[in-house]
Structure 1
Amino acid sequence: MAPATLHSANLAFIGGGNMCAAIVGGLLAKDIMPKDRITVSEPWDVNRQKMADLGVQTTTSNKDAAQAADLLVLAVKPQVAKGVCQELAATWADAARKDLPLIVSIAAGITLDSLTAWFTGPDGRAPHVVRVMPNTPALLGEGASGLFAGAGVSAAEKELVTSLLESFSKATEWVDKEELIDVVTGLSGSGPAYFFAMVEHLVASAKAQGLSEEQAMRLAKQTCFGAGKMLVESPETPTQLRKNVTSPNGTTEAALKSFEASGFEGIVDKAVRAASDRGEELGKILGQS
């Protein structure tokens, strides 16, 4: 049975990279749970020291980190997930644990079928699993995350995971089909890179027309930030916000018509679908490894 709140849980992270740092940082900044209830297993000295500097427990042993965990975040590279899951399943079986921890997997592309199979111990038991697709703005406490609950996950367990995600994620969306996690990947998981690429090209265009790179960069960054803030804080839709800034026969309309002539809608749709499809493909490839 999952603990009633995060504050009373023992939380373990397998993998101490950037996303782990984002989650732990959010939990501690909001005083959601005490440091001595958080343990991070990380093989790399630099990453492990960063986590130790935050005041949480650290180790190089996945077994030690997971031994008493009520909630375990699988934050490893997808390519090593199978071995880590099987190691942990054996650990819990050897310890004859009565209650298995709730698993939160942020290992990109790894399906619930694969995770359940790898986590199933010699006694045939497997823990409940929730798949999560976060994104890198979580590092600033501005994340967007999609979640899907595996079989058997209770309402209380979903609330626990929601509390965990809200420590670093401003948009936390549960989806009702696992394949929609791949869509979340194409939308918000990979999405920050789309905006970075847009700013990259805006700067290059302005520089080619005479602005210095420094001026163009400052203006483009603030434009992106300001537009994003309007999207978040305004009650109006993106469509209406676009119309508000587009005067008939004005400069913005000229730019948008150029986008339209270049097939902008199709370009965006193809990009999101390509990322979504690649997420599904990786799940199949890595699940068979």
Structure 2
Amino acid sequence: MTTSCSDDNYDPQPAPNTDAETSYVIAAQDDGTSYLITAPSLDEGTATVRGTGTEVLGGSYWVFKNQNYVFSLVYNKGGAGTGASYYLNAAGKPTERYLYEFNRITSYGTWGDKVVTVSTGDSKTTDAEGNIAQALLFNYLDENTGGQTEGAIDAENFLGNGEKVTFAGLEEANGKLYTSVVPMGMSRYGIGQWPDMVTDTELVAKADGGSASSSYTAGTIPSTQYPDRAWVAIYSGSSFAEKPVIVSTDKIGFACGRHRSQYYQTIWAAD
């Protein structure tokens, strides 16, 4: 059974076990099956899934959040994201806490006591012609309870240039959160709202095209008009609803790597 949960319907479970003798939890794979195993040390001895590993949901990404939970995040191409959280039970064995279904994942990171996934998708806002505005869609997985909540903010004209955006990576440093902001061209909604932001009408697609995550429809600008500029948003509070500081440079293109619909982090905290 797959469930979606929030902190509001949290049901008590045994407290996570942080016994030093089983304090190392390792994600491993054998014959295409994913496991979590424990080990008392990473410096000596051996660890094996044979007879000791706990079979788990195979994760595209694993996020180990402090001492309480490990989260498996699964990229399902164009489909909805799935995931799971695990904790150590009283016997020191990795145990499933929750299974999740949430908005598709194109990037992820941590912020405070939350594991965060992000993608860009349809909002509930439309214009008079029925064109749908795009939003940044967030999932928050709580490190203390394993619970899940969701949130969204406008992705349209985020940078003031009329383009919709997505985020690539989340990096915490110096009490702030940094994320690369990636412009992705103009939607039909965006062109209708900010027609003066179209730099060249020849960029507007005359017909549908592309495929999979690169598909587009007529009447949109399929890719950014600003390929030679990078933006980073800096949040000082604790919510994406707050207005961030935006810094930019024309020394590089947008600060992320990409493969299909996945946006990979290329900004990191320095010493």
TM normalised by structure 1 equals: 0.26
TM normalised by structure 2 equals: 0.27
Structure having the higher helix fraction is 1
Higher relative contact order (CA 8 A, sep 6+): 1
Structure having the higher strand fraction is 2
